Amino acid sequence: ELAQQLPLPHSVSSSLDKASIMRLTISYLRMRKLLTSDEPVAEEETELDIQLNSSYLKALDGFLIVLSEDGDIIYLSENVNKCLGLAQFDLTGHSVFDFTHPCDQEELREMLIHRTGSKKTKESNTERSFFLRMKCTLTSRGRTVNVKSATWKVLHCSGHVRVYDPHTEQTTNGLKEPPVPYLVLICDPVPHPSNIEVPLDTKTFLSRHTMDMKFTYCDERITELMGYDPEDLLNRSVYEYYHALDSDHLTKTHHNLFVKGQVSTGQYRMLAKRGGFV
Amino acid sequence: MSARNASAGGGDRAGDGEPADDLLLEVNQSSSVSLSSLMSPSSAASMSLSMEMPRKRKGSIDNQDSKSASIPDADMEDDENGSDGEERDVKMKCIREPHSQIEKRRRDKMNTLIDKLSAMIPTCNPMSRKLDKLTVLRMAVQHLKSLKGSASAFSDANYKPSFLPNEELKHLVLKAADGFLFVVGCDRGKIVFVSESVTKILNYSRAELIGQSLFDYIHPKDMGKVKEQLSASELYPRERLIDAKTGLQVQAYLPVGGARLCSGARRSFFCRMKYNKVSVKVEENEFQASSSKKKESQKYCTVHCTGYMRSWPTSQLEADGEGEADKQDSAHFSCLVAVGRIHSHSSPQVNGEVKVKSTEFITRYAMDGKFTFVDQRATTILGYLPQELLGTSCYEYFHQDDLPHLADRHRKVLRSKEKIDTNCYKFKTKCGSFVTLQSQWFSFVNPWTKEVEYIVSTNTVISQASRSGNKSEQSSHSKTSDEDGKKSLPIIPGISATPGSMIYAGSIGTQIANELLDFNRMNSSPSSGNVSPFSLPQDKSPQTHNQISNNVPNGEAADMEIAGKSSSEDEPQGAAFSGEETLMGEHSQMDLDSVVGPGLSNFSNDEAAMAVIMSLLESDTNLGEAVDFEDMRWSL
């Protein structure tokens, strides 16, 4: 009966086994707990607002995931199956570490740590951005395969650590729960060049490199953007063109690339042909 | 109510003796309890209390009765527990597993889950005894019911319950990313809708933005890009596909017309959007936005927009209708629904300060100057891998001119609790050249043993500007004094091998360390830098010795002089000398050349000093013994 109570489509809830019910219930309750502690929405929403609320998820490339401090998936949005092929309700309540690459787990654990600001730092940095490999059961043709034969997909996860502070709640017996941090992430897949469903515009150019970042091929769109001819660049390492201050970040990204397989950089500056940075 | 539950539970129990049933029944019963308790505002409290409820062993049939009996107590209010659900749950249970192991595992897992669930449910506080599983589950059901509110969700055929209602989803998204939703029309870029969160991000009020053209708010250089993204495909008829196998671009002329603009087509791009610097009040924002149109005063931030195309019938802008987007169809208004996010982590620092991380690295020394830890950044600066440095004494790498100063500092840092700055000194890199460093040393004392555990050194590379420090040291090298050199200091064979040098160089450090230990042992206070056991005349010393003594408290000089005539002097000397390949000093100490073997010609004063100190080290505190400095070569 608990399954019935869960706000799930009937078709889903009727096929859940006991453990899953439990999992989902727990997660659901956790989510409620976390969300109810927020400030209420101050302004009324227009009707359009309300309608568009549903588009948030659709507009995002990736899916949303809420993790507890010890890595349990409290909430996972539905579009995870579009991205990873796993079903939302299969994952909810489980530990995220079951689905992430073992080498990335350490990094993930670090991300989950939320150090409450000490006296030195007034506000700890709550932002998180990192790359994570998760199991993906989508084949290139779009079909889903069994979890056991899943491949790894690189996701760019960015989000914040938020703290649920139960101090605002009334407690009848004076017990106060400690503030619970949780991590909210939006995980985007890093688009593979062969699979870009999003049209690239003129300001985007494609280039291919060897492992040490020497150009082997470059789109001609670079010419109008930066002034180089593609031939100019061939066999030259792209590091020659990076702005010095960005090289730190780019080196790290390059390292990440080797570790994870796919990576997307932040903004950086690249030297244009006639001087100046783009 | 509870009686009904009990009976229902009893009925099920009779029907199937599997322990699984108990669990299901518990779900019902406990959920109902929790629901009722939720009605009271004491949810949080009870939640916390429920955590204390220990879990019961997975129900056996005996427990059933007790559970049922406890239900009335557990229920705080009516529970609307439907017993009809129970049968369904029974059907849902798993197939009976033959092996007890598996069974046990399942039970354990369920128990854990039950515990967690009970932790989440605001079960009633007054419950002093443990709530059994059944109760917990029942409470959970009740709780969930209450959370859903009074809406009769199940009656709605179109009801598609989602784990989270959309509104909360929106909040979550906003929590995850500093983002806002915006809808712009495709043809003119008119902002149809923008969510409230935009004020936090761009500092423009919602009212300001709606109805404006998006292009007003986009950096001029990005306008073309955004136009492309919004527009149809005619501009770029060639779809560039990439062959997955070869990675080459394949020019495919596809009939692109319809595809790009059809509903649901995705877009993703980065663009720069204006944002207001002032973020105080809405009125201010409006004022500022209207008054300052100058581009240079506008700041832009990079927004990552991802979204999809959607078309709305223009008849009702708010309708949900989605049809095939057709540009010619004026009844439909195609637009891009996108979420714009700011990735602040990926933008470079724009606050004007050029954050040049000064090349610095951290090393740790043991008390005697041997490297115990080397930051990996050292490799780019020094050329040595950390492994190469570990265990070797830092003195091997210090330039000879800097030795006295550094030795002095070394002493200081061992004795004081503050951070000691060194002057600029030269450190030998792997390829033989020197890099100028400046360090800050700090000794870490073990609070329990009161011993210096290690010295932390933050080393910063500085440009070659200041050589004054070195020069002053060099000028003191004028004297050559070999009067005391020729004692029993063994002639250092022409060692060019590094092992020897390592030992020798380490001697300085070790000796300094030992000084400290001895000092502590003897517990005498130093006088003007003189460590009492080591007071010795300084006049007899070779040049390096002088050099050191000039710049260093007497104690050090004394130390060196104390170097005994142990055979270890040999190696240290040679060792230190071979450590330095090139010499930057200008002092000539050729007198030593004759003393020491030819192999020492390239040894520096430092090394000589090191040699001395090493010899000191080897011997016990030997007051008054002259050091055979004469034997040491002070090469140029």
Which residue in B409, B463, B472, B401 sits closest to B437, CA to CA? B463
Amino acid at A8: L
Q: What is the ipTM of this complex?
A: 0.72
The answer, for B251 touching chain A at a CB cutoff of 8 Å, is no
Strand pairing report for A73-76 and A63-68 = antiparallel
- Rounded distance between C-alpha atoms, residue B250 and residue B241, angstroms: 5
A101–chain B nearest CA distance, Å: 22
Has residue A209 got a pLDDT over 50? yes
C-alpha of B570 from chain center = 48
- Span A124-129, average pLDDT: 63
pLDDT in tens, B109-145: 777 766 666 665 555 433 434 556 666 666 666 666 6
**What integer is the mean pLDDT of B69-83?**
37
Mean pLDDT of B290-316: 61
Top residue of B163, B300, B351 to mutate, by most chain A CBs within 10 Å, is B163
Asked if the Cβ–Cβ distance from B240 to A198 is below 8 Å, we say no
- For residue B121, list chain A residues with Cβ-Cβ distance below 8 A: 29
- pLDDT at position B31 over 80: no
> Which residues from chain A sit within 8 angstroms of residue B222, using beta carbons?
203
Which of A38-52, A241-255, B329-343 tops mean pLDDT?
A241-255
* Sheet of B266-275, strand order: B191-194, B178-185, B332-342, B299-313, B266-275
SS (H, E, C) B345-375: HHCCCCCCCCCCCCCEEEEEECCCCEEEEEC
Share of chain A above pLDDT 90, in %: 0
| Position B624 pLDDT exceeds 80 | no
* Phi, psi (rounded to 5 degrees) for B10: -65, -40
Cβ distance B268 to A127 less than 8 Å, yes or no, reads: no
Asked if B339 lies within 8 A of A194 by C-beta distance, the reply is: no
Mean pLDDT of A152-173: 63
Q: Is the pLDDT confidence value at B239 over 80?
A: no
Q: Exposure of B54 by Cβ count < 10 A (0-12 exposed, 13-18 middle, 19+ buried)? A: exposed
Nearest CB to B164; choose among A25, A31, A158: A31
For residue B159, the model assigns a pLDDT of 40
Q: Specify the higher pLDDT residue, B439 or B471.
A: B439
DSSP state of B634: B
**B138, B121 Cβ separation under 8 angstroms:** no
- CA gap B71, B27 in Å, rounded: 12
Q: CA-nearest residue of chain B to A8? A: B161
Chain-chain contact of B345 with A22 (C-beta, under 8 angstroms): no
Q: Does A193 touch chain B (CB under 8 A)?
A: yes
At A215-228, the pLDDT tens digits run: 777 776 676 677 77
Average pLDDT over residues A184-193: 69
Mean pLDDT of B66-79: 37
Touching A: B residues 21-40, CB under 8 Å: 23-24, 27-28, 31, 40
Q: Provide the pLDDT for residue A141.
A: 58
Give the pLDDT score at B169.
65
Distance CA A110, CA A105 (A): 9
Verify whether the Cβ–Cβ distance B242 to A193 is below 8 Å.
yes
| Distance (Å, whole) CA A116 – CA A130 | 20
Residue B172: band (very low, low, confident or very high) from pLDDT cuts 50, 70, 90: low
Q: What string of DSSP letters covers B592-626?
A: HHHHS-GGGGG--HHHHHHHHHHHHHHS---TTPP
At B141-164, the pLDDT tens digits run 666 666 655 433 343 333 444 555
Residues of A in contact with B41 (CB under 8 A): 170, 172
pLDDT for the residue numbered A138: 65
CATH superfamily of A62-114+126-192: PAS domain (3.30.450.20)
For residue B260, give the nearest of A24, A186, A199 by CB distance. A199
Which structure tokens are listed for B541?
């010393």
- In one-letter notation, the amino acid at residue B33 is V
**CB of A94 closer than 8 Å to CB of A147:** no
Sheet containing strand A73-76, edge to edge, reads A73-76, A63-68, A180-189, A151-164, A127-136
Of B45, B145, B181, the CB nearest to A171: B45
Compute CA A190 distance to the chain's CA centroid, rounded to the nearest angstrom.
10
Place of tokens 């832009």: B300
Instruction: State the average pLDDT over residues B582-587.
Output: 36
How many Å apart are CA A148 and CA B436, to the nearest integer? 56
Closest alpha carbon to B73 in B29, B40, B116: B29
Per-residue pLDDT at A185 exceeds 80: no
A interface mutation test: which of B133, B200, B346 has the most A CBs within 10 A? B346
Q: CA distances (Å), B422 to each of A99, A225, B411, B457, B588, in order?
A: 51, 49, 12, 10, 26
Distance (Å, whole) CA A99 – CA A136: 9
Angle formed by the axes of helices B19-39 and B43-51, nearest 10°: 150
E strand or H helix at A34 = helix A18-36
pLDDT confidence of residue B145: 64
Which pTM value belongs to this model? 0.48
Q: What angle do CA A128, B305, A163 make, to 5 degrees?
A: 30
Rounded distance, CA B328 to CA B431, Å? 72
A198-277: in CATH 3.30.450.20: yes
Q: Which helix (H) or strand (E) holds B275?
A: strand B266-275
Residue B541 DSSP SS3? coil
What's residue B291's pLDDT?
Answer: 39
- Count the neighbouring beta carbons within 10 Å of the beta carbon of residue B288: 16
Q: Which residue pairs, CB below 8 angstroms and at least 24 apart, start in B314-319?
A: B317/A48, B317/B192, B318/A47, B318/A48, B318/A51
In this complex, which of B120, B239, B320 lies closest to A26 when CB atoms are compared?
Answer: B120
**Which residues 35-94 on chain A approach chain B with CB closer than 8 angstroms?**
35, 38, 41, 43, 45, 47-61, 64, 66, 75, 77-78, 88-89, 92
Rounded CA-CA distance A48/B556 in Å is 82
How many pairs of residues across A and B have Cβ atoms under 8 Å apart?
279
| Chain A CB contacts of B338 below 8 Å | 59
- Tell me how many helices (H) and strands (E) chain A has: 11, 7
Per-residue pLDDT at B202: 76
Q: Give the 3-state secondary structure of residue B516.
A: helix
Q: Which residues, in sequence order, are bridge partners of residue A207?
A: A218
Would you call A159 and B176 a contact, using CB atoms and an 8 Å cutoff? Answer: yes
B216-232 per-position pLDDT tens digit: 888 777 777 777 777 65
Least confident interval from A58-72, A176-190, A239-253: A176-190
Confidence class of residue B171 from pLDDT cuts 50, 70 and 90? low
Q: How far apart are CA B635 and CA B591, in angstroms?
A: 9
pLDDT band at A194 (very low <50, low <70, confident <90, very high): low
3-state secondary structure of B396: helix
Map tokens 């495709």 to a residue: B186
Residue A212: the pLDDT is 73
Gap between the terminal Cα atoms of chain A: 60
pLDDT at position B71 over 50: no
pLDDT-derived band at A151 (thresholds 50, 70, 90) equals confident
Contact present, B381 and B359 (Cβ < 8 Å): yes
Helix axis angle, B605-618 to B554-561, nearest 10°: 70
Which member of A2, A89, A129 has the closest CB to residue B137? A2
Evaluate whether B107 touches B58 at the Cβ level (below 8 Å): yes
Helix (H, G, I), strand (E, B) or coil at A237: strand
* A169 has pLDDT over 60: no
Using CA atoms, how far residue B180 sits from A35, B146, B274, B285, B527, in Å, is 19, 32, 14, 18, 70
Q: Which of A5, A23, A196 sits opposite B144 (nearest CB)?
A: A5
Sign (positive or negative) of CA dihedral A24, A26, A32, A37: negative
**What would the pLDDT profile of B383-442 be if each residue is shown by its tens digit?**
888 888 888 888 888 888 888 888 888 888 877 777 878 788 888 888 888 888 888 888
Tokens matching residue B485: 């050199």
For residue A54, list chain B residues with Cβ-Cβ distance below 8 A. 166
Q: What is the pLDDT of residues A18-75, one digit of tens each?
A: 666 666 666 666 666 666 555 444 444 555 565 666 666 666 777 777 777 777 777 7
Residues of chain A with CATH 3.30.450.20: 62-114+126-192, 198-277
Query: Is B31–A5 a contact, with Cβ atoms under 8 angstroms apart?
Result: yes
**Interchain contact B42–A (C-beta under 8 A):** yes
What Cα–Cα distance (Å) separates residue B419 from each residue in B42, B413, B481?
55, 7, 35
